[in-house]
Structure 1
Amino acid sequence: MEATDDSVNSQVTQIHHLAAAGEKMVERLRKKAFLPDRRKALNVRLGIAEVARLLGCSTNRIRMAEEDGRLPRPEDGSRRAGYTIEALLNMRTVLNASKHRHSSEAPAIIAVQNFKGGVGKSTVTVHLAHYLAIQGYRILVVDCDSQATTTTLFGCNPHFDVTRDQTLYPYLSVASTEDDLNYAVQKTPWPNVDLIPSCLELFDVEYELAATNATGQGILRDRFRKLRDGLQKTAHDHYDIILLDPPPALGMVSLSVMQAATSLLVPLAATTPDFCSTVQFLSMMDQIIEAMAMAGIKPAYDFIRLICSRYDNTDPSQSMVIRVMEETFGPSLLPVPIFDSAEISHAALRMMSVFELEAPIGAPKTHKRAKQNLDESLSQVEALIRHSWARPASIEEAIAHVG
């Protein structure tokens, strides 16, 4: 029995109702998470022992700096409340423990890319941004995906809070109205993490660049280079690392991201479908890079690494897939995977990362294990970045220290 026009139209209308209902629920969740003023705040505090570990110094050195006035005394007269991220960054400056890149070193521009959805691409991007921020780097996160999951995890509702003119669109559009990316940079609750947000209307760039492709490769080549040039210009004096979250599909924006990035981080889950999909992604990347080179567009990367982004080490089938991945990808697969932790899911429900939680949501042991795993896993990426800056001398030494 064939569907009538009226029944088809009613189903199309249902899509509109579902989308509207979903947007309202996202806003309700955001209000609940960020009461009373609906603005996300960073309330995390770090104990003196953790701060000393991050600074690579003794707790006594911090106490002495507070006693002699180089560092402010704790607000409440004691150290029980812990230190804010702002205080930690100030300590890095005062105690000469800054991790900023040298002026002679190029900013690291890392694309977290896989054409397979559901691999935790945005979750990895946000956790990596917050991990690197705690380490003291200046970070810019660029949401290049019109689905705007990363924007949402930063506490913005892309439907209500972000317009097309606040995204990459005015810069990448064929009828560009911006010469640099400074107009789109927004502050976040993290003092050393900024964001260029996204929203659904960013997808308009895909149509425009696709149409441009039909008019000549020279114009398209210039468009691909424009994102790279804009990011490098923006990062030159303000950022150490830029993290790009591209769309989970091959398109003009994804190609621009591939050209702009200096490194690629490929997340994948420990399942057979994800493994097979990632193999297809890598094959497609190989073909794309070859085609881009023939068109005079030649990406160059400091590193390309895969990271298992969702791993349940209690599942025998996933342990088997991990072994297959290790055999297939060798050292290109980072040795410490990110565990599929309930604490990450709990944090995501609140539009946060685990690093933003003031206290454990689930069991304290689960929270501690998740945070320790994220530190170990994401420090592997930090080691790769520093190796590209010629610091430290040995990447193997750094990863061995992590393990």
Structure 2
Amino acid sequence: MSDQNSIVSQIGDLASAGEKMIERLRRKAFLPDSRKGLNVRVGIAEAAQLLGCSTNRIRMAEDDGRLPPPPSGENGRRLGYSMEELMHMREVLGASPARAPLDVPAIIAVQNFKGGVGKSTVTTHLAHYFAVQGYRVLVVDCDSQATTTTLFGFNPHFNITRDETLYPYLSIDPTQTDLLYAVKRTPWPNVDLIPSNLELFDVEYELAASGSDGQSVLAARFRKLKAGLMDMARDYDVVILDPPPALGTISLAVMQAANALLVPLAATTPDFCSTVQFLSMMDQVIAQLIEAGIAVDYSFVRLICSKFDGGDPSHEMVRTIMEQTFGPALLPVPILESAEISHAALRMMTVYELEKPIGTPRTHKRCRANLDEAMGQIEQLVRAGWGRVAPAREEDVIHA
């Protein structure tokens, strides 16, 4: 028995050693004060493309004093615009893509019960893509594994307490009546985060042990999360939810709170099969929720192929099967497997946060272009839900 206890105690030792290593990696990757920084700058050509205007219009606004010129380096060359400066430029030049006051904020759940499909990677890259485009974004980490929280620069073990997660709002004995307490600023001026940590899982235990009135307690929690998110969403254009990769109470609450569903899946046969099972289970669960009087309504449901290697014949074959099976529900542009994404993740970053390529410039450019195109598909779905398409670029209008 003592040998068994010794072996079991190793699990705690391994967890402790792992947490200490994560903290070492975090301190090495981030600034001296252990908080992540954002040092990305864009040149005038890229800024003009993002704002949908000409470089000449930006220069004119700088010349007449409406916009400050970007700072110059020691060699006198312009350093480019920071994300804060880009947001200011959008306001001055009337180039904000923000929703109209009557448009319903997009609340997108990124969900699949199969682990390893890149759920948190898709969540963080989607958030940063929307941020670069000028949208106001809230990311809600609902997964007690807290991978998304880690990618945003917080160590869920050392930096986040249970009272800073969804727990005080969703627990059996809540101490918070809205979600404002949990919102944290991130290095991105237009992205906020509600973080998670392992203790959020206590909600699952509590609700499972809620007794004879368990069903009514669950229904109340489902409605409460949706109400809280809708209240918070008034200050954002897009809310992105990262739920646990399992069919638990929190996942069900997230599925009911969302108004759009994005399902990432890798191009392998096991991922395809498990995703089919996930969709089948979702269909049954949603029917039961509706029968219980809990509304579920999505403006769109889409699948996106992640970690796709176009040079792998098996990936090509499985993707063809996906296209034949899911039709237009499968987004046409997959997220390509890229060393640049892996290298960024090692630094607890997304590709959108890299100041310069980690690999070759060609690899970085290809990866960034693919991410822009893949994430842009989701932006178009969001804008279509608002009754609008992508903002027209000045040059396109002139040439048309």
Asked if Structure 1 and Structure 2 have the same fold, meaning a TM-score greater than 0.5 normalized by the shorter chain, the answer is: yes
Q: CA deviation at 1:298?
A: 2.2
Opposite residue 246 of structure 1, the aligned amino acid is P
Say yes or no: does 1:274 pair with 2:254: no
- Shift of the 291–376 alpha-carbon distance from structure 1 to 2, 3 Å rule, reads same
Counterpart residue number, 2:102: 104
Counterpart residue number, 1:113: 111
Counterpart residue number, 2:14: 18
Give the ranges of 4+ consecutive aligned residues of structure 1 lying more than 6 Å apart after TM superposition: none
What's the Cα RMSD here?
1.3
Counterpart residue number, 2:58: 62
Counterpart residue number, 2:185: 187
Instruction: Structure 1 unaligned segments of length 5 or more: list them.
Output: 395-403
Q: Distance in 2 between matches of 1:153 and 1:393?
A: 29
Match of 1:47 among 20, 39, 43: 43
SS in 2 for 1:126: helix
Q: Distance in 2 between matches of 1:393 and 1:79?
A: 33
Counterpart residue number, 2:131: 133
Q: Normalising by the residue count of structure 2, what TM-score does the alignment of the two structures yield?
A: 0.95
Instruction: Structure 2 unaligned segments of length 5 or more: list them.
Output: 392-400
Q: Distance in 1 between matches of 2:10 and 2:118?
A: 29
**1:372-383 pair list within 5 angstroms:** 372-383=369-380
Contact 1:43 1:356 in 2 (8 A): yes
Opposite residue 369 of structure 2, the aligned amino acid is Q
SS in 2 for 1:215: helix
Counterpart residue number, 1:81: 79
For residues 59-94 of structure 1, give each alpha carbon's deviation from its aligned partner in whole angstroms, at most 9, with x where no partner exists. Answer: 010000000000011222866311100111111100
Contact 1:48 1:79 in 2 (8 A): no
Q: Distance in 2 between matches of 1:39 and 1:218?
A: 41
Counterpart residue number, 2:215: 217
Say yes or no: does 1:387 pair with 2:384: yes
Match of 1:36 among 29, 32, 39: 32
Contact 1:338 1:377 in 2 (8 A): yes
SS in 2 for 1:338: coil
Contact 2:129 2:372 in 1 (8 A): yes
Q: Distance in 2 between matches of 1:44 and 1:161?
A: 25
Greater CA deviation, 5-14 or 112-121? 5-14
**1:391-402 pair list within 5 angstroms:** 391-392=388-389
Contact 2:31 2:37 in 1 (8 A): no
Q: Distance in 1 between matches of 2:308 and 2:127?
A: 20
Say yes or no: does 1:290 pair with 2:284: no
Q: Normalising by the residue count of structure 1, what TM-score does the alignment of the two structures yield?
A: 0.95
Q: CA deviation at 1:36?
A: 2.3
Opposite residue 60 of structure 1, the aligned amino acid is N
SS in 2 for 1:175: coil
Say yes or no: does 1:309 pair with 2:298: no
Q: Distance in 2 between matches of 1:36 and 1:366?
A: 30
Q: CA deviation at 1:393?
A: 8.9
Counterpart residue number, 1:146: 144
SS in 2 for 1:373: helix
For residues 34-56 of structure 1, give each alpha carbon's deviation from its aligned partner in whole angstroms, at most 9, with x where no partner exists. Answer: 13222100000111111100111
Counterpart residue number, 2:325: 328
Q: Distance in 1 between matches of 2:212 and 2:25?
A: 43
Q: Distance in 2 between matches of 1:182 and 1:214?
A: 32
Say yes or no: does 1:246 pair with 2:243: yes
Contact 1:217 1:295 in 2 (8 A): no
**Number of aligned pairs?**
389
- % of aligned pairs identical? 69
**1:329-348 pair list within 5 angstroms:** 329-348=326-345
Q: Distance in 2 between matches of 1:89 and 1:188?
A: 15
Counterpart residue number, 1:399: none
Opposite residue 292 of structure 1, the aligned amino acid is L
Counterpart residue number, 1:401: none
